[in-house]
Amino acid sequence: MKRLKIISVFLFCVAVCLTFGYVFSKEPEWVAASTRIDCGRTIIIDAGHGGYDGGAVAEDGTPEKDINLCIAKDLKAFLELFNYNVVMTRESDKSTESDNGKNSWKTSDLYNRLQLMNKYDDAIYVSIHLNKFTSTNVSGAQTFYSQKSENSEQLALSIHGKIISMLQPENTREIKKGTNSIYLLRNATCPAVIVECGFLSNREELEKLKTEKYQRMMAFCIFCGIMDYNNALRL
Ligand SMILES: [Zn+2]
């Protein structure tokens, strides 16, 4: 009788272990796919401007650099949840220039941001900026892509598509090729895009861009776009 009891307890323990082992090892398919396959891929996030380079400044004095950094940090957090290797061009209110005595600080700053691309074989480059225009009616994100680097157009399509479908359904803009005047895109050595997340010159959009919630939503759209891009490449 005692022996029978020991066997039943043993069998019960085996059943519990098997059940929980199965449940906890079984992750949803989309989580498994993204964490396994993207593990190790490097995403360089460039929070535009920084330090004494404030970028565009809104009428109320809000500089572009601060909102760029908030969105960049939120994007980093989302990507790291999914095992991406994230490299930031800056994580505080600093520009990246180095004083080599040869170049102007702006040239040095852009050059240093570009150099990060050369350090990684599998990187993609996402630069976060904000727009400003003379007409205060203009609003909505704009995404530019590098003509030099293969797959940049696909990356821009994926990110811009998510911003429109998830956050700005009224936005009718299409992605644009970066002109030669955009140093980072002209010289890009990996898939590279600049996401202008909205217009500081539009009062309504400025108020949204200043909120943590909207910054996080924007970052989430960009994150989803990066996931989409990776999935498209695997097809
Ligand atoms: Zn900018």
**Domain shared by 22 and 115, yes or no:** no
**Domain shared by 18 and 95, yes or no:** no
pLDDT at 213: 98
Q: If we measure between CA atoms, which residue out of 230, 75, 48 comes closest to residue 163?
A: 75
Element (H, E) at 4: helix 2-25
Decide if pLDDT at 41 tops 90: no
Position 103 confidence tier, pLDDT thresholds 50, 70, 90: low
* Residue listed under structure tokens 């970052």: 219
Q: Domain range for residue 23? A: 1-38
Interval between CA 224 and ligand 1 midpoint (Å): 22
Interval between CA 210 and ligand 1 midpoint (Å): 16
CATH of the domain at 183: 3.40.630.40
| Number of Cβ within a 10 Å radius of residue 226 | 26
pTM higher than 0.95 for the full model?
A: no
Interval between CA 48 and ligand 1 midpoint (Å): 5
- Mean pLDDT over residues 36-61, rounded? 85
For the chain, the domain total comes to 2
3-state secondary structure of 107: helix
**Domain shared by 12 and 121, yes or no:** no
Contact 158, 229 (CB under 8 A): yes
Interval between CA 140 and ligand 1 midpoint (Å): 15
- Mean pLDDT over residues 45-65, rounded? 95
**Domain shared by 5 and 66, yes or no:** no
**Domain shared by 27 and 110, yes or no:** no
Position 24 confidence tier, pLDDT thresholds 50, 70, 90: very low
